Amino acid sequence: MSHYLSDLRHTEFMLFDVLGVDSLYGRPPYDDIDRATAGAILHGAEHFARTRLAPSFDAAEREPILLEDGRVRLPADLRRALQDHLASDWLRLDLPADPDGTHIPPSLRWAATEFALGANPAVAMSTQLVPRVVALLQREGDEAQRRLAQQILDRRWTVTMVLTEPDAGSDVGAATTKAVPQTDGTWRLYGTKRFITWGEHDAAENIVHLVLARTPSGRGAGSAGLSLFVVPARHTDPVTGEPLERNGVRATKLEHKMGIVGTPTCELVFGTDGVPAVGTLLGRENTGLRLMFDIITYVRMLVGLKATAALSSGYLNAAAYAATRIQGKRLDDDPPAAPVPIVDHPDVRRSLLTQKSYAEGARSLVLYTASLLDTVEAYEAFGHPAGEAQRRYRLLLPVVKGWCSENAWRVLGSESLQTFGGSGYLRDYPLEQYVRDTKIDTIYEGTTGIQALDLLQRRIRRDQGHALHRLLADIEATAAQLNDGHELAVEGRLLLTGVSCVAGLSKWACRADLRLAALGANSLLFALGDLVVGWLLLRAAAAALRLQADTRLPDDQRLAATVATGRWFARQNLARLSTELTAVHLLDSSDLNLVWPTA
């Protein structure tokens, strides 16, 4: 049996019954998409992930990845899964459509991506990067780089993002890797890069690295002085793409990690052993970080979805276990009563409701954020500006990354694994690997603290709260619909209170000294995440109530569970937002002036 349990039905319910993304289908730019086609894409992607990717989920746990003389050797099952995904058509969903091709809406692409990330996150975190890098090379590259982009697809190569250095982690602008121009128009790179995911492996004949480095004109200019270079692991025939001799890029270290051990995370040295690392400049000098941010923003969404996929599968595994694990009697049973499944115990039900609400809430947040890009593309297809949808997408992106990753890591460990008791601590079940694999999501591509600062500085203060206030107005409108005559009236009032609390947090954050505001940035991120997730889960609950009222439909316990989930999250989470506002108002400058004692 596969470790991976997907929730395809909830994905379809959110996309079509709650968000109504299919209202844009059948017209530009989604002329060739209808609900049946979208459903077929989702079902096909889920089947591929479950049958072709999931079996090698723990391959590197059973057989370690090895580094020998600068070469990384993968376990056979993991190598095969990566090659299968590269050879499949599923990655092409994320490519820009040909003029005569089918344009796939972003929300549908992201929904399909969840299955690969849940089935085998190690593989998917490599392969899902390919379409984005190919699109960047096609858009920004010269003729040779555009040809290279096609060779990446045709020859099934992999790609990497090469940013981090030993002394330049979150502060990318501190990077010192240098690029020296050559008379033939190429560049030679010199330096050491660290924490490069899939930096070296034997599953593809070539790896194309996107490397941030500093040219002579960028010295001393911080992040603004970085340029972006295309550096293949092997030189290639410029016409056929046939691999030739190795370039001067060498893996000198393989990191030994807490989780995602199926991803070879490498230290790469450029220009070593007398072999130059030859690359070509992408775009103009000193625009590297701007170009790379197209990839970084994509990967931040990818990381949030990876965490969501793990949490969802963890919850479904826990629910299945709780339904079959017999242990103890009901609290209200007489002593002679027979033992019952642990799902009958109140605390286990509390735990499962918590897991379900966070898993479905995280997915709802990702899909809603992705649906904003559907709107952007639809407006642009008719030549109209889509500023509001674009601003809301940018507002929510750090929330997707930060809220989903932190809550997935927390809930998987404190609730999902806990449901299994001592068995959850064993490798007999996938939960302990889920926990280890998910912790990284709070760290890479910008820690949660960095996401919170991005939300505070760029998305709220710089925007003067415009996008946030428009979002709060939409949430307030939903709360007004859940009036005193509605079955969700109590939750509607909690939603309204949540709007007031987040508005208060935003007002404080905009007026406070920046350093003091930064002290409360995490609280702002999580409060906004709780509010938006509560809003989406209550919209889902309201949609479920409407479907339940349709007497033509069969009685569906899953609809009742959707209503219960929305109620639970609202009463357990939205009810607590007022305490966040109080706590933030109690912050003062003395909290910033503490001198940490040294040993």
Retrieve residue 504's tokens: 């208060």
Active site residues: 445
**Cis omega before residue 385 (within 30°)?**
no
In sequence order, what are the beta bridge partners of 181? Answer: 187
Retrieve residue 197's tokens: 């995911």
Contact present, 374 and 24 (Cβ < 8 Å): yes
Helix orientation angle between 489-511 and 557-572, rounded to the nearest 10 degrees: 40
Contact present, 293 and 393 (Cβ < 8 Å): no
As a whole number of angstroms, the distance between CA 200 and CA 183 comes to 29
**171 backbone φψ class: left, alpha, beta (φ>0; ψ -120 to 50):** beta
Residues 6+ apart with CB under 8 A from 334: none
Contact present, 154 and 246 (Cβ < 8 Å): no
As a whole number of angstroms, the distance between CA 348 and CA 344 comes to 7
* Ramachandran angles phi, psi of 337, nearest 5°: -60, 150
Q: Report the amino acid identity of residue 598.
A: T
The closest alpha carbon to 502, from 520, 528, 479, 464, belongs to 528
Please give the helix or strand (H or E) that residue 234 lies within, else none: strand 234-236
Strands 226-232 and 277-282: antiparallel
Retrieve residue 204's tokens: 């593809």
Residues 6+ apart with CB under 8 A from 435: 259, 409, 412, 413, 417
Instruction: Give residue for tokens 């723990």.
Output: 58
As a whole number of angstroms, the distance between CA 113 and CA 290 comes to 25
571: exposed, middle or buried (Cβ count in 10 Å: 0-12, 13-18, 19+)? middle
- Helices and strands (H, E) in the chain, number of each type: 20, 12
* Length of the chain (residues): 599
